[in-house]
Amino acid sequence: MLGLKLPTDPRWVNIAEKNIEDILIDHAWCEQKAASTAISLIVSFPEYTELVTAMNELVQEEMSHFKMVHDLLKDRNIVLGRDRRDFYVVELIKFFPKGGSREVQLVHRLLYAALIEARSCERFRLLSENLKDEKLRKFYRKLMISEANHYTMFLGFARKYHDEKIVNEKWSELLDYEAKILKSFEKGESVHG
């Protein structure tokens, strides 16, 4: 349903489980970055009123997730560590050429956001199905559903604001590219690593 062309290597879950504190810290920063991305879309495209309304809601939802992860860290007496670069995202957003009309730039940013949500959704599903800790399994099941909704929303906005056929082509090419990035990565103790 998410369209991803390469499923995550099942060994990732084992690495994640062994490094669950690193995963939680990285996850907190993923939520913060999702909130910042939504704010950035508001700042860059304020005249898209429906998008602004949706991004505003999204900021609040992502920060409520940040709080949930931060609370989990506090329960474990873990202090939130510094953010690390998300090389997956750094590589991903190199795909579309810079420039073009504002509308095309918006579409590219919406497709990047949709893909990051889709991959996060897939990873959270793996955590929700495989972690031994029941509380965490339920937690990731809940967040998996949110990520799926965000993925649908971003893709929907892209198709709404631009020619649907072109959007679908771009989306398909981005999915191919994402599979290549993922393949090139060592499995690591991060949400997208």
Binding site for its own copies (CB under 8 A): 32, 35-36, 39, 42-43, 46-47, 49, 52-53, 56-57, 59-60, 63-64, 66-67, 70, 74, 79-83
Residue with Cβ nearer its own copies (1 or 79): 79
Q: Is residue 191 exposed (0-12), middle (13-18) or buried (19+ Cβ within 10 Å)?
A: buried
Nearer to its own copies (CB atom), residue 51 or residue 155 = 51
* Nearest residue (CB) to its own copies, 53 versus 172: 53
Task: Taking each helix axis as running N to C, give the angle between helix 102-130 and helix 20-44, from 0 to 180 degrees, rounded to the nearest 10.
Answer: 160
Interacting residues of 50 by C-beta distance below 8 A, sequence separation 6+:
157
- Residue whose C-alpha is closest to residue 2's, from 164, 184, 125: 125
What count of residues does the chain have? 193
Residue 160 Cβ, how far from its own copies at the closest point, in Å? Answer: 17
- Compute the distance between CA of residue 132 and CA of residue 111 in angstroms, rounded to an integer: 33
Q: Cα separations (Å) of 90 from 85, 110, 149? A: 8, 16, 23
Alpha-carbon torsion (20, 23, 27, 28), positive or negative: positive
User: In whole angstroms, how close is the CB of 63 to its own copies at the nearest point?
Assistant: 5
User: Whole-number minimum distance, CB 64 to its own copies, in Å?
Assistant: 7
Which residue number, 14 or 64, has a Cβ lying nearer to its own copies?
A: 64
Write down the least CB distance from residue 49 to its own copies, Å. 6
Nearest distance in Å: CB 121, its own copies: 23
Q: What is the Cα–Cα distance from 103 to 161, expressed in whole angstroms? A: 7
Pick 10 or 46: Cβ nearer its own copies: 46
Which of residues 64 and 172 has its CB atom nearest to its own copies in the complex? 64
Provide the minimum distance between the beta carbon of 108 and its own copies in the complex, in angstroms, as a whole number. Answer: 20
